[in-house]
């Protein structure tokens, strides 16, 4: 995520100014083969290490269909289910634009995929991270509502000059959160679910801290975007994360 100051005299930017056509037909057979390789490798690596709603989303959205998903085809299933839709963007979007998109149940996905030579190194999130990591849980009704709420919180926090507060909530839940499920530690965050190296590390490393998730702790816990996290926040369940975040008002977020 980017952290920038928005000048007062800057023209108002709209989120749809950042949307580009996915140009699905322009993906090469090599691009699709890289997706298939990443998809198969990651599912095998994850086993049952992600919250079960993630796998429900993979099935519901037919993400195991070979090749990079076409955003329009994906939206034909996702939008009637939870009101979320995906749009293509050429790379990271500014934080204010990102949260404005979320507040309207729009999720930006990169219109590119990494090269085979860079399977495990990403300069910017590509469509594998965005679609494999983020989209399955957006088929879950309550999670879908939570992410929309994060969008609204983000817009309000940025307007108050406190964007880092919501960025940390987002990071420690949607991107790098862990959650228990039937007593077992599971991956919740998209950054972990889509990572070859950090998925097992987050669950199994003895060199990191894992502390109980709360909105207050998340707001006060900085994060790394250039290395594996030194600390993960663990909620009692997917439902606990959703309930905590949904209960948070913009005013409370600024007071925490």
* Distance separating alpha carbons of residues 73 and 119, to the nearest angstrom: 25
Q: How far is the CB of 1 from Fe ion (least distance, A)?
A: 9
Using CB under 5 A as the binding rule, the residues of this chain from 190 to 249 that contact Fe ion are 190
* Distance separating alpha carbons of residues 225 and 63, to the nearest angstrom: 27
Closer Cβ to Fe ion, 31 or 108, answer by number: 108
Closer Cβ to Fe ion, 51 or 190, answer by number: 190
Q: How far is the CB of 138 from Fe ion (least distance, A)?
A: 12
Tokens read off for 126: 């590509």
- Which of these, 238, 126, 229, 129, lies nearest to 173 by C-alpha position? 238
- Residue number closest to Fe ion, CB atom: 190
Closer Cβ to Fe ion, 11 or 35, answer by number: 35
Q: How far is the CB of 129 from Fe ion (least distance, A)?
A: 6
The crossing angle, in degrees rounded to 10, of helices 238-247 and 141-159 is: 40
Compute how many residues bind Fe ion; rule: CB under 5 A: 1
Closer Cβ to Fe ion, 50 or 190, answer by number: 190
Q: How far is the CB of 194 from Fe ion (least distance, A)?
A: 8
Q: Where are the beta strands (DSSP E) in 38-146?
A: 85-89, 106-110
Q: How far is the CB of 8 from Fe ion (least distance, A)?
A: 29
Q: How far is the CB of 20 from Fe ion (least distance, A)?
A: 18
Residue 181: left (phi > 0), alpha (psi -120 to 50), or beta?
A: beta
- Which of these, 195, 190, 182, lies nearest to 45 by C-alpha position? 195
Closer Cβ to Fe ion, 131 or 215, answer by number: 131
- Contact track, Fe ion, 162-191, x by CB under 5 A: ----------------------------x-
11, 41, 56, 145, 187 from 135: Cα distances, Å: 31, 18, 11, 13, 15
Instruction: Tell me which residues touch Fe ion (CB under 5 A).
Output: 190
């Amino acid at each position: 995520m980017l952290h920038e100051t928005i000048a007062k005299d800057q023209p108002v930017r709209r989120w749809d100014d950042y949307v580009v056509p996915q140009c699905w037909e322009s993906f090469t057979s090599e691009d699709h083969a890289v997706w298939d390789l990443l998809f198969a490798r990651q599912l095998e690596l994850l086993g049952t290490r992600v919250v079960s709603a993630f796998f429900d989303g993979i099935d519901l959205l037919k993400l195991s269909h070979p090749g990079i998903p076409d955003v329009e085809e994906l939206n034909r299933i996702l939008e009637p289910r939870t009101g979320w839709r995906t749009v293509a963007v050429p790379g990271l979007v500014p934080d204010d634009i990102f949260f404005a998109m979320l507040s309207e149940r729009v999720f930006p996905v990169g219109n590119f995929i990494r090269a085979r030579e860079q399977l495990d190194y990403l300069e910017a999130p590509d469509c594998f991270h965005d679609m494999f990591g983020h989209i399955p849980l957006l088929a879950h009704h309550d999670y879908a509502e939570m992410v929309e709420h994060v969008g609204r919180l983000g817009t309000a926090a940025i307007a108050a000059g406190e964007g880092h507060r919501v960025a940390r909530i987002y990071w420690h839940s949607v991107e790098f959160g862990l959650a228990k499920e039937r007593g077992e530690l599971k991956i919740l965050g998209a950054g972990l679910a889509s990572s070859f190296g950090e998925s097992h590390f987050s669950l199994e490393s003895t060199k990191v801290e894992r502390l109980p998730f709360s909105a207050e702790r998340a707001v006060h816990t900085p994060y790394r975007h250039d290395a594996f996290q030194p600390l993960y926040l663990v909620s009692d369940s997917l439902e606990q994360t959703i309930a905590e975040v949904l209960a948070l008002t913009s005013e409370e977020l600024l007071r925490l």
